[in-house]
């Protein structure tokens, strides 16, 4: 067995490196795939690999975007349905509240109208009573005046009759007076 010296290793390494470079050059020249002279196949392979990675990334991104878009759209649709349901419920509640308010207002207005009618009737009745009392007082006053007038006329008539009676009664009855009544004998 021979002992391998470092110089031997270095020489064999250089030969192997040259042999490898020649094989790579021959591969570039005689390989049907790499016929273009002066082309860098490693760079081209890296570019092809990068393009495939980029396409795969774009495809994954596109699929992720579509999934995200679909998920977001479904969430928006659900949110829109929830909002629409709330809006309908709110409209129903507002409508019921407005109806109740209108009913309450109508009932209050009817009550105010009834109260106003009752007050008006009460005022008209009180006014009629006051007018009736005034009319009765006027009639009583007119009757009293008429009665007073009649009483004065009667008093004047009585006074005149009394005065006439005094004249008539002041005369003393004489025999002639009695004889006029006794014309027959008994």
- Dump pLDDT digits (tens) for 71-84: 999 999 999 999 99
Residue in the block written with tokens 């007076």:
177
* pLDDT 10s digits, 30-66: 766 655 555 666 777 888 888 999 998 888 888 888 8
Task: Please state the domain extents for the chain.
Answer: 10-39, 40-155
Task: Specify the DSSP class assigned to residue 33.
Answer: G
pLDDT value at residue 23:
86
Confidence check: pLDDT of 169 > 60: yes
pLDDT value at residue 91:
95
* pLDDT 10s digits, 84-95: 999 999 999 999
Q: Where are the alpha helices (DSSP H) in the chain?
A: 6-30, 41-170, 175-179
pLDDT band for position 4 (50/70/90)? Answer: low
Single pTM value for the model: 0.38
- Spatial neighbors of 168 by CB under 8 A, at least 6 apart, are none
The alpha carbon of 15 is separated from its chain's Cα centroid by a whole number of angstroms, namely 98
Decide: helix, strand or coil at residue 3: coil
pLDDT band for position 7 (50/70/90)? Answer: confident
pLDDT value at residue 34:
58
pLDDT value at residue 173:
65
pLDDT value at residue 37:
53
Name the phi and psi angles at 123, rounded to 5: -65, -45
């Amino acid at each position: 067995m021979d002992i391998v010296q470092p110089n031997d290793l270095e020489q064999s390494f250089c030969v192997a490196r040259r042999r490898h470079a020649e094989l790579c050059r021959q591969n570039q020249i005689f390989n049907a795939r790499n016929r273009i002279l002066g082309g860098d196949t490693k760079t081209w392979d890296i570019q092809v690999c990068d393009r495939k990675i980029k396409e795969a990334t774009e495809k994954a991104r596109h699929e992720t975007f579509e999934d995200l878009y679909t998920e977001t759209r479904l969430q928006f649709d659900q949110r829109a349905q929830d909002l629409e349901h709330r809006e309908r419920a709110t409209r129903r509640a507002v409508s019921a509240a407005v109806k109740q308010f209108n009913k309450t207002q109508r009932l209050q207005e009817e009550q105010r109208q009834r109260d106003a009618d009752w007050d008006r009737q009460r005022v008209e009745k009180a006014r009629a009573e006051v007018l009736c009392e005034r009319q009765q007082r006027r009639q009583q006053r007119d009757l009293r005046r008429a009665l007073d007038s009649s009483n004065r006329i009667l008093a004047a008539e009585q006074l005149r009759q009394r005065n006439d009676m005094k004249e008539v009664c002041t005369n003393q009855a004489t025999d002639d007076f009695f004889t006029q009544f006794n014309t027959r004998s008994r």
